[in-house]
Amino acid sequence: MRFKTKKGKESPGINTSSLPDIIFMLLFFFMVTTTMREVTYKVKMKLPEATEVQKLEKKSLVSYIYVGPPVNSRLYGSNTRIQLNDQFANVDDIAEFVQIERQNRPESDRKLITTSLKVDSDTRMGIVTDIKQELRKSGAFKINYSSRKKSARK
């Protein structure tokens, strides 16, 4: 009896039928663990670091105010600006912004809305104080100073 020689025979292709399953698994992983980007940032923010941070829960009940120097400094200068949703705004616009944010939420959740202040760490407090005063006037009392987690120093 002669053994068959493998010479001249093509190597079998790798079976890729389970590839879609693997990719779908990855896809679902990313869909579950990530959140959608809300807006395009028009201001630069280097968030300050803090050790005693808490997680912001219920992202649907958070509205964001961004403060920092504009990304496009040639067009908008380098003065600190406020960004609400997708555009620059003034301090006076915050009251209206809070009203709209409140109307977009179901009535039962309106008291639970947290305003997250994403402020660049080089900003002067003057503008932040103005924003806080404006928020107090419009009744948005829950605020969160967004900051990055830093491990506690030893």
Partner 1 sequence: MARKSPEINAGSMADIAFLLLIFFLVTTTMDVDTGITRRLPPPVEDPEQDIDVKERNVMKVLVNSQDRLMVNGKPADIRNLKNLAIDFMAIHPDNPDFPEVQPKFIEELNRELMTSKGIISLKNDRGTSYEMYIKVQNELASAFNEMKDQLSLDLFGIKYTQLVDENRIKGINSAVPVRISEAEPEDIGGS
Interface region with partner 1, contact rule CB under 8 A, candidates 5-13, 88-96, 105-113, 126-134: 126-134
Q: Euclidean distance between the first and final Cα of the chain, in Å?
A: 77
Interface region with partner 1, contact rule CB under 8 A, candidates 6-14, 52-60, 95-103, 105-113: 52-60
Question: Is the CB of residue 89 less than 8 Å from the CB of residue 68?
Answer: no
Instruction: Give me the 55-94 binding string for partner 1, x by CB under 8 A, dash otherwise.
Output: xx--x--x--------------------------------
Distance CA(140)–CA(146), nearest Å, equals 16
Return phi, psi of residue 92, to 5°: -65, -20
Q: Per CB under 8 A, does 5 bind partner 1?
A: no
Buried-state track 105-119, b at ≥16 Cβ within 10 A, e below 16: eeeeeeeebbbbbbb
Task: Please name every residue paired with 64 in a beta bridge, in sequence order, or none if there are none.
Answer: 116
Interface region with partner 1, contact rule CB under 8 A, candidates 1-9, 13-21, 70-78, 98-106: 13-21
| Residues that bind partner 1 in the complex, under the rule CB under 8 A | 16-17, 19-20, 23-24, 26-27, 30-31, 33-37, 48-56, 59, 62, 114, 116-117, 119-126, 128-129, 132-133, 135-137, 139-149, 152
